[in-house]
Amino acid sequence: MIDRTTPEDMMSLASDMQVGAIVVLQRDPGDVESLLADRVRTVPRLRRRLVRTPFGCGRPVWVDDAAFDITRHVHRMACPAPGDEAALLHIASSLVTRPLPRSAPLWSATLVTGLTENRAALILVFHHVLSDGIGGLAVLANLLDGAPRTETAPFPAAAPSRRALAKDAWKTRLSPPGRISSPRFQRPSRGARCSLNQPTGPRRQQTIARTSVSQLHAAAHLYGGTINDALLTAVTGALGTLLTGRGDHVGELVVSIPVSTRRSTTAAHLGNSTGVMPVALPIGGDHRSRLTRIATITRSHKKSVASATSIFRVLKLLGIADWFMNHQHLVQTVVTNMHGPDRPVHLGGAPVVGLIPLSATTGNVTVAFAALSYADTFTVTVVSDPDHVPDLQVLTKALQAELDLFR
């Protein structure tokens, strides 16, 4: 079978964004290189390169990398003193913004030792074109202990011929389109201009706020909302505090919420399958009334999830996609939320004591939020451009205070 990119993949490739996660371990798992060398066999794309096709042969395809070498992807480093979480996040920020070479499979894994309490951490980074968040969790599941050892095809498989690529491309072009849903797209009112919208540079800084999954769920349910509604309530409240301190007085912000069009996937079926739900949300009022309002707003927009692919294609044809992304004022921030493992897991026999999401959001958005649950811990990573968000600690403390209100 030809593993071809989708239109959604191409949009992720053009945005050139990298994502990942930090797997915090109770101890050093030992020979992580050999461990990952064995387990990547169950995830085909971790041993495949993305290559362009000849003229007329369609979008790029993934082909087995005959020169695949695990040592090019798995690295070790010692965390500088004091070895705390801030030092770990500093390393992760530099890794997630370091471009992965396009000549090899688009991922890396770095084992960081020397953390406090004799802990270690595995920092996983992959290009967003490899997969979306749902797929990323499927990849992680296959790398952890206890994953089923699925049968894999002989490696490396020969790259498809030009004739096969052309035939596959034309088959796709000529085949009748499947049933396409037509969601009712409600364009939110443009948010007020504020300091959150500025062209981002190459650097990123990450901080963390945490709370309990069960407590957040109970509080959200009490006011007719979901965990995601509670997250949005905390984020908007924290941003309200930040903007007030900056002298920006706005009543609402437009938040872009990526929404997966699939509930689950496997490591053999990755790629991107997401839509976006931009919603205008209030930032004022107490957290209870704000949660109730946000829950009502998000419910009304659930059928408004739409793909940005067609719009992006037009912008690319006009040659203004990059300019548009770096100057847009349609959304002020991005909030993603992923449901991780419900039970404790292990890697190389070492207990996983934490999962931290990583992101490097771009596109005139100076601060974004990525949440990931693990067991009963709900971790929210605040990712920002340090040149435009010097008050990141103010925002992080405000976010933690907002989350604490739900306890």
Q: Are 369 and 359 in contact (CB under 8 A)?
A: no
pLDDT at 178 over 50: no
Q: If you average pLDDT over every residue of the chain, what do you get?
A: 87
Q: Are 121 and 211 within one domain?
A: no
The CATH number of whichever domain residue 72 belongs to comes to: 3.30.559.10
- Is residue 297 in some structural domain? yes
Phi/psi of residue 377, nearest 5 degrees: -105, 130
Which SS3 state, helix, strand or coil, does residue 191 take?
Answer: coil
Q: Are 219 and 170 within one domain?
A: no
Give the span between the Cα atoms of 225 and 47, in whole angstroms.
41
Q: For residue 193, what is the DSSP state?
A: P
Q: Are 16 and 97 within one domain?
A: yes
- Is residue 279 in some structural domain? yes
Q: Are 364 and 255 within one domain?
A: yes
Q: Are 247 and 145 within one domain?
A: no
Residues 6+ apart with CB under 8 A from 320: none
Residues 6+ apart with CB under 8 A from 66: 156
Residue range(s) defining the domain that contains residue 319: 205-404
Q: Are 104 and 151 within one domain?
A: yes
The arithmetic mean of pLDDT across residues 117-142, rounded, is 90
Q: Are 230 and 406 in contact (CB under 8 A)?
A: yes
pLDDT at 311 over 70: no
Q: Are 258 and 132 within one domain?
A: no
User: How many domains, the chain?
Assistant: 2
Q: Are 111 and 59 in contact (CB under 8 A)?
A: no
The arithmetic mean of pLDDT across residues 13-37, rounded, is 92
- Is residue 95 in some structural domain? yes
- Is residue 10 in some structural domain? yes
- Is residue 191 in some structural domain? no
Q: Are 23 and 124 in contact (CB under 8 A)?
A: yes
Kindly indicate the confidence band of residue 78, based on its pLDDT and cuts at 50, 70 and 90: very high
Give the span between the Cα atoms of 140 and 338, in whole angstroms.
13
Instruction: Tell me what pLDDT residue 179 has.
Output: 41
Peptide bond into 176 cis (omega under 30): no
- Is residue 334 in some structural domain? yes
Angle at CA 77, nearest 5°, toward 350 and 113? Answer: 35
pLDDT at 189 over 60: no
User: Which of 151, 174, 197 represents a domain boundary (last residue)?
Assistant: 174
- Is residue 304 in some structural domain? yes
The closest of 53, 60, 47 to 13, measured between CA atoms, is 60
Give the span between the Cα atoms of 235 and 198, in whole angstroms.
19
pLDDT at 185 over 70: no
Q: Are 345 and 214 within one domain?
A: yes
Give the span between the Cα atoms of 106 and 202, in whole angstroms.
19
Residue type, 316: K
Q: Are 113 and 79 in contact (CB under 8 A)?
A: yes
Chain centroid to Cα 90, Å, comes to: 18
Q: Are 335 and 377 within one domain?
A: yes
pLDDT tens readout for residues 274-290: 777 889 999 988 999 99
Q: Which two tokens stand for residue 276?
A: 């976006």
State the Rg of the chain over Cα.
21
Give the span between the Cα atoms of 187 and 185, in whole angstroms.
6
Q: Are 120 and 220 within one domain?
A: no
pLDDT tens readout for residues 345-388: 999 999 999 999 998 877 789 999 999 999 999 999 999 999 99
User: Which of 126, 154, 174 represents a domain boundary (last residue)?
Assistant: 174
Tell me the angle at which helices 309-318 and 7-15 cross, rounded to the nearest 10 degrees: 60
Give the span between the Cα atoms of 83 and 77, in whole angstroms.
12
Match 């490739």 to its residue by tokens: 13
Instruction: Tell me what pLDDT residue 33 has.
Output: 95
Give the span between the Cα atoms of 36 and 74, in whole angstroms.
8
Q: Are 108 and 214 within one domain?
A: no
- Of 70-84, 101-115, 174-188, the range with the lowest mean pLDDT is 174-188
Give the span between the Cα atoms of 240 and 229, in whole angstroms.
16
Q: Which two tokens stand for residue 231?
A: 């997250």
The CATH number of whichever domain residue 312 belongs to comes to: 3.30.559.30
Give the span between the Cα atoms of 220 and 228, in whole angstroms.
9
pLDDT tens readout for residues 236-253: 999 999 999 999 988 999
Q: Are 215 and 106 within one domain?
A: no
Question: Regarding predicted confidence, which is higher, 194 or 188?
Answer: 194
Instruction: Tell me what pLDDT residue 9 has.
Output: 85
Instruction: Tell me what pLDDT residue 395 has.
Output: 98
Peptide bond into 156 cis (omega under 30): yes
The arithmetic mean of pLDDT across residues 116-131, rounded, is 94
Chain centroid to Cα 322, Å, comes to: 20
- Is residue 184 in some structural domain? no
Q: Percent of the chain, pLDDT > 90?
A: 64
User: Which of 121, 152, 174 represents a domain boundary (last residue)?
Assistant: 174
Give the span between the Cα atoms of 367 and 257, in whole angstroms.
14
